[in-house]
Structure 1
């Protein structure tokens, strides 16, 4: 509650909306609905047709915007999707496998999209943001801790007898979900729609203030900055996303005033407006026993 209410800036939001081109601002809002469609496609293709309620599926993605207010980025959507899958008739292990497949496809698609756009645009931002030495140290420490824990007989027996069967069952379900080429291709297409819609949403926000940029480069910088900002454990990355987006786009030559205003318009469309819409979707799902 503290984070959400301290980040509400009604005067600045009203000014940003008033100064923005209404048509492009509405395009930004519309792209938010398209992003929901992309995430719904990725989740829906991994579900059995007899268990998939199309309206409920789309509403579950809308409800994710509501849960993002009270939970860190990523946690809210996972909670809603798992509940939706369970109410749709999936056991916990199968539901977790479907969710893991969705994460794998969305995460993999985002990485490939970043590398592809970065390669063709010539941006070296990605390589400069990867903390290579820190990453190697973290991996080494984790490997050392795991090795030391497995050297203790009681811990090793607990893992092999209690948790390993659960992991094997989960892995089997995950492999079965991902081993369907048609569904996998459609899932990747949905993830592309999600990523491109969110990236182009910021491009539309910049266009709303008369600043023309390359859509591909804007999407690339946005995905990088948004991923970094969303890693901060505040509701929906609130505060961190705004700061990182403003700094990132100012760093590539966009005037600070335009970068800040575009960020405000984008977050109104992709965060604040999703709260009432998501709340209504959550209510509909609850009424139909789908969450």
Structure 2
């Protein structure tokens, strides 16, 4: 077939419809690949206290509101509130299909571009969001570590000759290697310098507006707090037997660790790190596993299909 005819055929393809179906295809693949996990989590959830499970669902729903506030706080322009909230719900589904927050970031970039923001501005906004979310999560973790210094008994989970110093040393080596590689490549240095210049100007402008500061940092702090509250509700529904403050600490510690493993939606890394963290706070392995499975069903699998449907609708309407 001649090249012109091939190009003509490609242009006639219903690309928007295909893009609409891609999220649903991704969800179907994940459901089939993780059907045993879903089934076990549902069985555990059916045996739990329904009132606390509804509270966990409510915390998950409020999390999308918190993220919407944080996203609005990254830009000076007023974003359409309703579309912003719906976009965060759709971005949650996209986040479970691509690793390291790429899916959610791509959806939000498309949304901000449709709202008229230039590439430099929405790139800076995305970076500011991730920075604020990470700083808030680590700040909450450090505060709880000071409040409950003996809550996480990690030494009991590590070999006698390994210990926490070796884990910290390994993390430091990775950080130093990343900085060294960045500094060694001139093109990377130049791109980072240009990006930081734009980002710093936007950060100063946003922090000159009290309403944006409240939205950014309030939303960034509220989101992990609501996620932790959802885990607490699930733990209470299954009578995990771990103090509430320790459960919150386990969630924050595991989320920081899981963020270093770029899997789609944190599948595998979140479950493993959260079970380890709960066991480190004193829960038995079986109860911790049941709690994590039920929690992931509520926070991941329950909103995944409707989120994918919303994402498809947003793509079809040209909102993202």
Could you say which TM-score interval applies, normalised by the shorter chain? 0.7 to 0.9
CA shift in 2, pair 1:213/1:135, >3 Å? closer
User: Is structure 2 residue 174 aligned with structure 1 residue 138?
Assistant: yes
Tell me the distance in 2 between the aligned counterparts of 1:163 and 1:36: 31
Unaligned residue ranges in structure 2 (runs of 5+): 1-25, 155-163
User: 1:273 aligns to what SS in structure 2?
Assistant: helix
CA shift in 2, pair 1:253/1:138, >3 Å? closer
- Say whether the 8 Å CA contact 2:53–2:234 is kept in structure 1: yes
User: Is structure 2 residue 289 aligned with structure 1 residue 260?
Assistant: yes
User: Is structure 2 residue 149 aligned with structure 1 residue 122?
Assistant: yes
Listed as ranges, the matches of 1:186-225 within 5 Å are 186-225=215-254
Tell me the distance in 1 between the aligned counterparts of 2:249 and 2:116: 38
CA shift in 2, pair 1:179/1:96, >3 Å? farther
Tell me the distance in 2 between the aligned counterparts of 1:286 and 1:206: 37
Pairwise CA distance, 1:57 = 0.7
**Matched residue, 1:69:** 96
Unaligned residue ranges in structure 1 (runs of 5+): none
User: 1:102 aligns to what SS in structure 2?
Assistant: helix
Deviations 1:85-123 (A, max 9, x none): 111110010011111121121111111111111111224
Tell me the distance in 1 between the aligned counterparts of 2:256 and 2:175: 20
Tell me the distance in 2 between the aligned counterparts of 1:143 and 1:190: 30
Pairwise CA distance, 1:82 = 1.1
Pairwise CA distance, 1:287 = 4.6
Tell me the distance in 1 between the aligned counterparts of 2:254 and 2:72: 28
User: 2:257 aligns to what SS in structure 1?
Assistant: helix
Pairwise CA distance, 1:194 = 0.3
CA shift in 2, pair 1:115/1:16, >3 Å? same
User: Is structure 2 residue 130 aligned with structure 1 residue 94?
Assistant: no
| TM-score, normalised with respect to structure 1 | 0.86
- Say whether the 8 Å CA contact 1:34–1:193 is kept in structure 2: no
CA shift in 2, pair 1:166/1:204, >3 Å? closer
CA shift in 2, pair 1:74/1:53, >3 Å? same
| Paired residues, number | 283
- Say whether the 8 Å CA contact 2:66–2:223 is kept in structure 1: yes
Of 82, 102, 105, 1:78 maps to: 105
Of 239, 244, 269, 1:240 maps to: 269
- Say whether the 8 Å CA contact 1:126–1:224 is kept in structure 2: no
- Say whether the 8 Å CA contact 1:114–1:223 is kept in structure 2: yes
**Matched residue, 2:57:** 29
User: 2:146 aligns to what SS in structure 1?
Assistant: helix
User: Is structure 2 residue 78 aligned with structure 1 residue 42?
Assistant: no
CA shift in 2, pair 1:233/1:8, >3 Å? farther
Aligned Cα RMSD in Å?
2.7
The worse-fitting range, judged by mean Cα deviation, of 206-215 and 101-110 is 206-215
- Say whether the 8 Å CA contact 1:209–1:262 is kept in structure 2: yes
| TM-score, normalised with respect to structure 2 | 0.79
Of 18, 29, 40, 1:12 maps to: 40
